[in-house]
Amino acid sequence: MIASFRGPRAWALLLAVALVGCGGNGGASQSAAATSGPGAASAPATGSVPASASSPKEPSVSADASAETGSEPPSQSPSESSSPSEPTPGEGEFVNPVIETNFPDPDVLQVEGTFYAYATTNAGPGVPNSRNFQAARSTDLIEWEVLEDAMPELPSWSGLTPLFGIDPHEATWAPDVSLIGDRFVMHYTAPALDMERPDGRPAQCIGVAEADSPEGPFVDTREEPLVCQADLGGSIDGAYFRDEDGTQYLVWKNDGNCCARPTNFFLQELSEDGMELEGEVTQLEGLEDDNAWEAGVIEAPTIVVHDGTYYMFYSGNGFATHAYAVGYATAEEVIGPYTDAEENPILATDLETARDLGLAGPGHQTVFEDHDGDLWMAYHAWPSVAIGTADPGRQLWLDELVFEDGKPVVKGPDRGPQPAP
């Protein structure tokens, strides 16, 4: 792993007391990784994320807190003195995190043997050269080169928003990029300034943009969001899924936890080019925020089909707590009904494991294939001694995903060293 650069620790906000719910996806839910498409060059970086992208940002502004619920506050973080020693990888090994700076709500796409990772904005006070959507590139999933803003211009319906305070700020979350035909399509979350949610603030809604290259620039020329359930709190965490028969879908959550409303998942078919919704929307049965570990929040839906069974991976609980975690549900059809796994959550930390591993609150997952076709789960996690802080923020972790007797097993969280992809 390349060394990362960090700016000085800035105004670190501990958000979990007031804000939970990750608002953005990053869950690339394609059934197979893209294997073709153009690439473009950019100036080399001197670290996994260079100084221009590693300065602190405020999680409540550039990440995706969108509600007030009761989950465990970050004040329960393990003490600084309990931080584990840094592991040293040998040849053919790597250690987590693979991006040590703030890279929340990750999405990973493979294009002609190169991997592209995308993430929520890193904007915030003191962040030079901030981006609406972060992007990075790697050939081995371990060493990452930062790229320019994947979508430097927002559409006419969006812009800065007073989502978390009086002053308008960036709130661009959870980019999900797919290769559809010969175009790259990004489904993303941004504020719809003219659409009011129940608390009177602009609703967070899902837009769609396209580009010729996986590096962008992605452009959204629409005059309104692709989908926005403002009366349900908004629509966020949009993720693309291509079924085995070629049918394309968008799955998302309503941002109900912004406004003391339930959170649910919705599914709707996409047009051939992935730019329009078609047919009727389905609220997915069996996927409600009714399990204790979820603490009233479910988000980041990611669909994978394996041996004829549909697996809905998702995250639950407050994103700025050590209790944020990943679970899954299964169905015989993509439209459900879904049944929660008894062993949920399958990727989690508690106070003891957070101290031992040095991370906390793993979640907002995406699933993708490596060069050999093996499945991996990418997700973000806080350093266990810095839950909810602006710097370093939520870092990018990778762990292998396998199926054992029909059940998905994440081989993590594992700081490593572990075999490289």
Q: Which domains does the chain have, with CATH numbers?
A: 51-419 (2.115.10.20)
Confidence of residue 14 (pLDDT cuts 50, 70, 90): very low
pLDDT score for 354: 87
Count other Cβ atoms within 10 Å, centred on residue 214: 28
- Give the per-residue pLDDT at 390: 81
- As a whole number of angstroms, the distance between CA 62 and CA 378 comes to 19
Alpha-helical regions (H) of 50-180: 51-54, 59-62
- Are 135 and 215 within 8 A, CB to CB? yes
Each residue's pLDDT tens digit, 88-135: 888 999 999 999 999 999 999 999 999 999 999 998 777 777 899 999
300 compared with 391, residue with greater pLDDT: 300
Query: How many CB atoms sit inside 10 A of residue 203's CB?
Result: 30
Q: At residue 80, does pLDDT exceed 90?
A: no
Is the per-residue pLDDT at 81 higher than 80?
A: no
39-65 per-residue burial string, b: 16 or more CB within 10 A, e: under 16? eeeeeebebbbbbbbbbbbbbbbbbbb
Q: What is the pLDDT of residues 197-249, one digit of tens each?
A: 999 999 999 999 999 999 999 999 999 999 999 999 999 999 999 999 999 99
Q: What DSSP character marks residue 47?
A: S
Dihedral sign, CA of 295, 299, 304, 305? positive
Sheet (strand 359-369) strand order:
359-369, 375-383, 395-404, 407-410
Nearest to 179 by CA among 274, 321, 93: 274
Is it true that the peptide bond before 337 is cis, omega within 30 degrees of 0?
A: yes
Q: How far is CA 48 from the centre of its chain?
A: 18
* Cβ atoms 23, 363 nearer than 8 A: no
The pLDDT > 70 percentage for the chain reads 80
Confidence check: pLDDT of 315 > 80: yes
Q: Is the model more confident about 5 or about 279?
A: 279
Q: Which residues pair with 347 in a beta bridge?
A: 326
pLDDT at 287 over 60: yes
Q: How far apart are CA 18 and CA 21, in angstroms?
A: 10
Tell me the three state secondary structure of residue 292. Answer: helix
Stretch 149-178: mean pLDDT? 94
Tell me how far CA of residue 364 lies from CA of 95, 175, 319, 345, in angstroms: 20, 12, 9, 13
- Give the global pTM: 0.83
Q: Are 65 and 20 in contact (CB under 8 A)?
A: yes
Q: Closest by alpha carbon to 89, among 43, 140, 39, 52?
A: 140
Q: Is the pLDDT assigned to residue 168 strictly greater than 80?
A: yes
